[in-house]
A and B are shown apart, each in its own frame.
Chain A
């Protein structure tokens, strides 16, 4: 039996080793035809990540193109209302409107370094697709984005945006025609074009080395926030660190900055996509983790008002952080999200993405119920801005 609580090297959020294990989760469950591509990517990333020039190139792009570091904003009026001290890590201020840009810039630079000329990506609502199309345009790469046919209809504006940026959008008509099917299709396509194509995966999921690569590329969120908290807070470290979770990339990046501190780490899943709360251990899209599935083992479709949280699995490292007790995973319902959007908009003049509003909603609930002690300090990663959700918010009002 695999020990679910011990990493090979004994430390949290470190290098998961050649087998890509986070306790009993992770791994590389892909067809034999994809093994060389995964191995090549792992080797290339290890080299690049240890190469100061690559790191400098990426840091420069993050600064002059993506707009990093993003601000740490005290939420003054919301804090006063709740009787706690809320700080917002402002990923909504990054280029393309969310943390997604951190990951795609890193992967696109890596792809170019590997001699690949083409990026493929999966997308649900279109945010990761737009980010990928953006990075491809910036670095002169081709981009093809797989998107469930149902999502293509629902997110026509983002489809147009990707095409405007020069990407090709391919509607996926198989299965449930949503994000999980787009991910399967991107993996299928990658098999046929591994020579010239890099699969630019959008979250801390997929076969090893992806969950590790994406976490490392998002680590900048947590490291910046840690330094900003040290400057801002008398205690240096917040009492709670909160982030929303679909696949879990903004949370992974945030947690990575605080995993070795006393801060309590809280991941907020959408109730209709809560793999930790309602899933069981399974294998989907190349990795072992908690997966929402029916009583026969068929993968369920996730449902959330926030399209970015509509994923039936969760990144394998989060599954491990849950099992080990280092992080706690909670859920928020669709009904709690819209009031949270309104409240942040009216108290702070910030319109959060529906995804990010899940983290805000939990903080409001926990402060009002007394679960969060008075005057405690809570860092919330505001992963994206809400402009893309205006129609949904308006219809829900």
Chain B
């Protein structure tokens, strides 16, 4: 893989035509797309994603309706679901349902490695890649386990805090990404607080790419349509493509 990876996020069902955001993301250079399956009590999400989730749930959106919307959607990049564990264990065929809808990966931030065995087994059985998260305070031995057991990519959480826009990317985040890259051949993506193309460029210096979520959802909540968001993705894409890809480390 040569270029830096761009993974934008959308809250499933945020608008009736929400899959058009997915299409625009793909058209403007997303490498993967993260789909949020909204949960009533999202303990790792900041105000923007909370608001987006709450809004979607108010519209009567369910995991089933989101997966139905995705089924048959014509995008050629991997789709990764992000949700909380209660929704996963609620439905015994959750992972199989994801796979059937064309979703190939899953992120569950309230399942740390100590609790992951059951989920890992069901995801593997359904052919769904379980993406694990690491934080700035994660100890080296835990980082090694996370790097080893994660699939598709490793999600490096850039801050001690929730999802949401921030002014700058901390040194902790870059150190975490570098440490992880030394432990795995999987791409290491930095997320949380990547709200401007400049952050993405700074992150790409240490990581293999970025997840962009709250900044996009803020725009969507403020009324930005698929084309406008597509243009923003194009800016992130151009900024990341301007990064000279060097030797990791």
Q: Which stretch in B104-112, B179-187, B230-238 binds the other chain?
A: B104-112
* Contact of B89 with A175 in the complex, beta carbons under 8 Å: no
The answer to whether A191 and B162 have CB atoms under 8 Å apart is yes
- Determine if B110 and A296 form an interchain contact, defined as CB atoms under 8 angstroms apart: no
Interface segment, one of A78-86, A181-189, A251-259: A181-189
- Give residues of chain B (13-57) contacting chain A, Cβ–Cβ below 8 Å: 39-47, 50-51, 54, 57
Q: Contacts A184-B42, A296-B62; is A31 near B86 (CB within 8 Å)?
A: no
Rounded to whole angstroms, the CA-CA distance of A293 and B54 in the bound complex is 16
- Which single residue of chain A is at the shortest CB-CB distance from B60? A296
State the Cβ distance, B94 to closest chain A Cβ, in Å. Answer: 9
Interface of A is mostly: mixed
Partner of B86, one of A27, A174, A188, A283: A283
Partner of B111, one of A29, A175, A191, A284: A29
Q: How many residues of A contact B (CB 8 A)?
A: 35
CB-defined interface of A158-175 with B at 8 Å, one 1/0 digit per residue?
000000000000000011
Cα–Cα distance between A30 and B111 once the two chains are bound (Å): 6
B95-145: which have CB < 8 Å to A?
A: 109-115, 118, 133-139, 142
A283 to B115, CA, bound (A): 12
B43 partner, pick from A27, A31, A297, A298, beta carbons under 8 A: A31
Are A184 and B43 closer than 8 Å at their CB atoms?
yes
- When distances are taken between beta carbons in the complex, the residues of chain A under 8 Å from B86 are 282-284, 291, 293, 297, 299
Contact of B54 among A30, A175, A187, A286 (CB under 8 A): A175
B 135-170 to A, binary, CB cutoff 8 A, 1 in contact else 0: 111110010001000000000010011100000000
In the complex, whether A347 has a CB less than 8 A from a CB of chain B is no
Is B85 a contact of A32 with CB atoms below 8 Å?
no
User: B142 and A35: CB pair below 8 A?
Assistant: yes
Residues of B within 8 A of A31 (CB): 43-44, 109-110, 112, 133, 135, 157
Does chain B have a CB within 8 A of A11?
no
Bound form: Cα–Cα A137–B215 in Å:
40
B87 contacts A by Cβ under 8 Å: yes
Contacts of B109 in A (CB 8 A): 31-32
- Interface status of B9 (Cβ within 8 A of chain A): no
* Minimum CB distance partner of B139 in chain A: A36
Q: Hey, which chain A residues are within 8 Å of B71, CB to CB? A: none
Given contacts A174-B47, A194-B160, contact A29 B85 (CB under 8 A): yes
Q: A residues 289-304 with Cβ under 8 Å of B?
A: 291, 293, 296-299
Q: Is A192 an interface residue (CB 8 A)?
A: yes
Query: Do B54 and A174 have beta carbons less than 8 Å apart?
Result: yes
Q: Are A283 and B89 in contact (CB under 8 A)?
A: yes
B210 at the interface (CB under 8 A from A): no
Whether B40 contacts A188 by the Cβ 8 Å rule is no
B59 at the interface (CB under 8 A from A): no
Q: What is the 8 Å Cβ interface bit string for chain A, positions 272-285, against chain B (1 contact, 0 not)?
A: 00000000111111
Chain A residue at smallest Cβ distance from B57:
A298
- Tell me if A187 and B40 are in contact (CB < 8 A): no
A184 to B157, CA, bound (A): 19
From the candidates A32, A36, A180, A194, name the one contacting B157 in the complex (CB within 8 A): A32
Chain A residues with CB under 8 Å of B110's CB are 29-31, 283, 286
A60 within 8 A of B: no
* A:183-228 near B, CB below 8 Å: 184, 187-188, 191-192, 194
Query: Is A281 within 8 A of B89, CB to CB?
Result: yes
Question: What residues on A are CB-neighbors of B41 within 8 Å?
Answer: 175, 180-181, 184, 284-285, 299
Q: Which residues of B contact A27 (CB under 8 A)?
A: 114-115
Sampled A-B contacts (18; CB under 8 Å): A19-B114, A27-B115, A29-B115, A31-B133, A32-B138, A33-B135, A35-B114, A35-B142, A175-B41, A184-B43, A188-B45, A188-B46, A188-B162, A191-B161, A286-B43, A296-B64, A297-B91, A298-B87
Top 5 closest A-B pairs, CB basis?
A297-B90, A33-B135, A298-B40, A192-B161, A32-B135
Seed contacts A28-B112, A33-B160, A35-B142; 18 additional CB < 8 Å A-B pairs:
A29-B112, A30-B112, A31-B44, A32-B112, A32-B157, A174-B50, A174-B54, A175-B40, A175-B50, A176-B40, A188-B161, A191-B44, A194-B137, A194-B160, A281-B89, A282-B90, A293-B86, A296-B90
